[in-house]
Amino acid sequence: MTKKAKLTCRFFPINEVNIAKLVEMHSIFTRFYENADLTTFIKDMSEKKGVMILKNKTTGKIVGFSTYNEVELMHQGKKAIGVFTGDTIVEPEFWGNKTLHTAFAMKMLKAKMLRPTTPMFWLLISKGYKTYLLMANNFQRFYPRHDRHDHEMEGLMQQYCQKLYPTYYKEEEKILDFGEGYHALKDDVADITPRMRASNSAIRFFEERNPEWRRGTELPCIGEIGLSTIGIFFKKLMRSTFGLRRPARKPRRLAA
C-alpha cells in the first residue's frame, strides 16, 4: 500500500538545505549504515552541490534522498560534465517507487537539452548491489560490466576517482577503499543470497569486483548520459506504470 503513496521529489541547492532537513535525512541514513555520525554526514553534504529530496506528499516527511554534484572531465580532448550522485537512500516501504528516479532523469534531460553538444556522464560509487543495478539496468553504455570491456569509459572512471578520491582509489583492484570506520551497510540491508548470485549476472559481477562491499568499499562506475538513454528510461517507466508489455517481435521469414 505504501508503494502507492503520493511522493514528491525536488532538487535543493546545498545552501537551501537547513539543519532540520539535514537531521531528518541523517535519521534515515543511520537506519542503513554503520559509523554514520552526524558531524561527518553534514561535512559530506557540505561538499555537494545539492540534494534530491523525496517526500511523502501527505505527511510532508522526508522518505529518501540522493546527493548531487558535478565534476569537470576531459573526453576526447574536450570538456565533459560528470554528474556525480553519492548516497542514494529510500525508506524500505517505498522501494520500487520511481519518483526519485524520474526526478533525476528529468534533471538530466534538462541539463542535456541546455548543453546538447557537451558529453555528459553519470558518476556513481556503489557499496551495494542495488545502486549498481540502477546503472546496469538503465544505461546502454556503462562501466564496469560483466559482458564487455570499455577502455575509454574505464579511463573516464579513473579520471574522476583521481580527481575526487586520490587517496582512496586502488588502481589495481579498481575500487575505492576508505578504510576501517567508513560507513558500511548494516548486515540486514541489501544482502546478496546464493540464489541471487546464481540467477543475476550483474549482481554476481558486482560482488566479484567489490568482494569487501560489506565493510564499505565502493565500486566506482560511470554511464554515458544521452537522449536515447533518457528516452529508454521513460519508455520503461511508462510500461511499468501502465502495465504495458514490450511489443512482440515479428517472426523472421526464412529465405525460400
Predicted pLDDT at 186: 59
Predicted pLDDT at 223: 94
Predicted pLDDT at 30: 86
Closest CA to 82 of 136, 114, 118, 117: 118
Predicted pLDDT at 12: 95
* Grid cell listed for 62: 522526508
Q: How many Cα atoms sit within 13 Å of 254 on the Cβ side?
A: 1
Confidence (pTM): 0.82
Q: Phi and psi at residue 42, in whole multiples of 5°?
A: -65, -40
SS3 content of the chain, % helix, strand, coil (to 5): 40, 25, 35
Rg from Cα positions in the chain? 19
Predicted pLDDT at 254: 47
Is 166 strand, coil or helix? coil
Domain boundaries, the chain: 68-241
Query: What percentage of the chain carries pLDDT values higher than 90?
Result: 50
Predicted pLDDT at 168: 93
pLDDT by position in tens, the chain (length 256): 444 679 999 999 999 999 999 999 999 998 887 777 898 889 889 989 999 999 999 999 999 999 999 999 999 999 999 999 877 889 989 988 889 988 988 888 888 888 889 999 999 998 888 889 988 988 999 999 999 999 999 999 999 999 999 999 999 999 999 887 666 565 556 678 889 999 999 999 999 999 998 888 999 999 999 888 888 877 777 776 656 555 555 555 544 3
Q: Could you tell me if 210 and 146 are in contact, meaning their C-beta atoms sit under 8 angstroms apart?
A: no
Predicted pLDDT at 251: 54
d(CA 78, CA 55): 38
C-alpha triplet 157, 158, 159: angle, nearest 5°: 90
Predicted pLDDT at 229: 82
Predicted pLDDT at 105: 85
Residue partners of 49: CB distance under 8 A and separation at least 6: 13, 14, 68, 69, 70
Predicted pLDDT at 13: 95
Predicted pLDDT at 156: 97
Q: Could you tell me if 81 and 118 are in contact, meaning their C-beta atoms sit under 8 angstroms apart?
A: yes
Quote the DSSP letter at residue 191.
Answer: -
Predicted pLDDT at 256: 39
